[in-house]
Structure 1
Amino acid sequence: MSETLQNTFATSFEIAWDYLEATGKLGNPDTAARHLLDSIETMLRRGERRHLALSNKAIAAYLRFREEQSLSLAS
């Protein structure tokens, strides 16, 4: 059975969001949502369709973004 892109997008976002929320690493919800959505969309456009790959890469990108933000604020 083939899954729709919309469903793949939603499932991947939900996995990433739930992980970040459960670990206390979500931060600002609007910023997190925007960053996760953008990351997942970019990867979908490049052909990635695996939920866990999409969510894990989006999480990693968001955590790098947050780390860079904290480093720039500390300077």
Structure 2
Amino acid sequence: MSEPIPWLIESSIQIAWNYLERAGEIGNASEGSRFLLRTVDEMVRKGEHRKLMLANRAIEAYQRHRRVIAA
């Protein structure tokens, strides 16, 4: 049985956040949380429901986003 969608989104964001925080990659916390929420929410709407896939793709997207901002 799969998790309800809100729990799936929350869990995926928490995994991504924990990783990015430990890696020292979270800049502005408010901006980071909004970015992760938008990214995970969009993937869920497109049909992805694997928690670790959502988290990993959100991490990659956030890292790309931060590189673009830094350039």
> How many corresponding residue pairs?
71
- Structure 1 residue 64 corresponds to structure 2 residue 60: no
Q: Which structure 1 residue ranges, 5 or more long, are not aligned?
A: none
- Report the TM-score when normalising by structure 2: 0.96
How far off its partner does 1:2 sit?
2.6
* TM superposition outliers: structure 1 runs of 4+ over 3 Å: none
Largest Rg, 1 or 2: 1
The sequence identity of aligned pairs, in percent, is 42
- Report the TM-score when normalising by structure 1: 0.91
Whichever residue aligns with residue 26 of structure 2, its letter is L
Cross-structure match for 2:33 = 33
